[in-house]
Amino acid sequence: MARKPRQPARPQPAIDSISEPSSDLAAVPPLVLGMRARILGAVDAGDIEALRPAIEWNETPPVFARGQPPVTFATAIEFLKARSFDGKGKEILGLLAAIFEQPYARVRRSPTETWVWPAFAARQRPDISGEERLAMYRCSRFSNILLTNDIGLPLIERVGIGADGTWHYFYAG
């Protein structure tokens, strides 16, 4: 039996554009706002289990950690609890609340668009104010508080929601 030649890994599309930070929710597509509302509904409930409908809304679970095997719908909540400093998911809910309090950015990677909260996760620069750095720390997991990225900024959590309302990811970077 002849083997098929191995296909080279497809490179991730380059970012075409990143919008300026915005807090104008009227400019966000309704499907994106719908997913954001599902996530914030779980935050308001104060129970990580209430996040399950938002996670299961997609065809596949969101990516919750880079470089690790993907979670399944059955394991997503337990994964988030384990990732939470308190082991119950309260830290995760607090992070999601802090993230969605920040402005967002619209990131275009042809042919897709993703709304990213917080905006400073999409457009990082080393010359930030003390207030911006404090906002970044609010969006960082307790266990990552002493870790920084390659330009000396905290490892902040970010949420990406596609134009079709798909929750793509929630991870640090």
pLDDT tens for the chain, 173 residues long, are: 444 444 444 455 566 899 999 999 999 999 999 999 999 999 999 999 999 999 999 899 999 988 877 789 999 999 999 999 999 999 999 999 999 999 999 999 888 999 999 998 887 777 778 888 788 878 888 766 666 677 667 778 899 999 999 999 999 87
76 sits in the region (left: phi over 0; alpha: psi -120 to 50; else beta) called alpha
* Res 148: pLDDT: 66
Dist CA 120 CA 21 (whole Å): 8
Nearest to 159 by CA among 105, 108, 111: 105
